[in-house]
Amino acid sequence: IINPAGRKRMRCKYGSSIFWVGVTSQKTMKLLPASGRKATQKIVTGDHDGVITCFGIKKGEAIPVFKTLPGEKIARLELGGALNTLQEKIFVAAGSEVRGFTKKGKQFLSFNTNLTENIKAMYISGSDLFLGASYIYNHYCDCKDQHYYLSGDKINDVLCLPPDKLSCIIPVLACQDRVLRVLQGSDLLYEMEVPGPPAVLALNNGNGGDSGEEVLFGTSDGKI
């Protein structure tokens, strides 16, 4: 994604093809998994105008797939689906609501969390939904409240270690006070200090490595 200074829009560039979308937040662009030998590679984004845009790349050209109507600012976009299947369902967080769409743009979920703060971070794992809203972390399963945690500082990102490799659900919070907080249920399991404020989390290799416990983090001052 390229964000030229002073521009009010973002552009996604693939080779010589440019596709314009609205201004976006961190972690609001995903590459949809391709299914089939001749499947078109698809990219989906969510922007500050509340618009979800999906476009495909065919013969080096960007081709629109679907575009939703404007709405509340989209703060996060994640892909999900049943565990051990293609993660091709699209989930977005806007305000205190989480919405779900198929890869063709049909909405199938509208979940109002009733949180008093806007959602800042989101992670999807099967039927489990993990949310961070400033200082508050919530875990939902099938849209039912499961666990809650009040962080000592602002939550910048959240993820969950892969449950198919571990015996329980282990969320990890990236917090502004330079600490990674590891939870179990509503309890703090342990915390780890890192060199700078962690801004983003990711599972190593996309699956946490062989153990499922390997986590990458990036700090706001450029360290990984």
pLDDT given at position 2:
38
- Please, what's the b/e burial string for 128-155 (b: 16 or more CB within 10 A of its CB; e: otherwise)? bbbbbbbbbbbbbeeeeeebebebeebb
d(CA 104, CA 177): 40
pLDDT given at position 169:
94
More confident residue, 118 or 9: 118
pLDDT, tens digit, 9 for 90 and up, residues 108-158: 999 999 999 999 999 999 999 999 999 999 999 999 999 999 999 999 999
DSSP 8-state code for residue 69: P
Lowest mean pLDDT among 16-30, 45-59, 89-103, 166-180: 16-30
Please give the radius of gyration of the chain, using alpha carbons only, rounded to the nearest integer: 17
Say what the pTM is: 0.89
Q: What is the 3-state secondary structure (H, E, C) of 153-195?
A: CCEEEEEECCCCCCCCCCEEEEECCCEEEEEECCEEEEEEECC
Amino acid at 33: P
Whether 210 contacts 161, CB under 8 Å: no
Summary mean pLDDT of the chain: 90
Q: Is the pLDDT of residue 3 over 70?
A: no
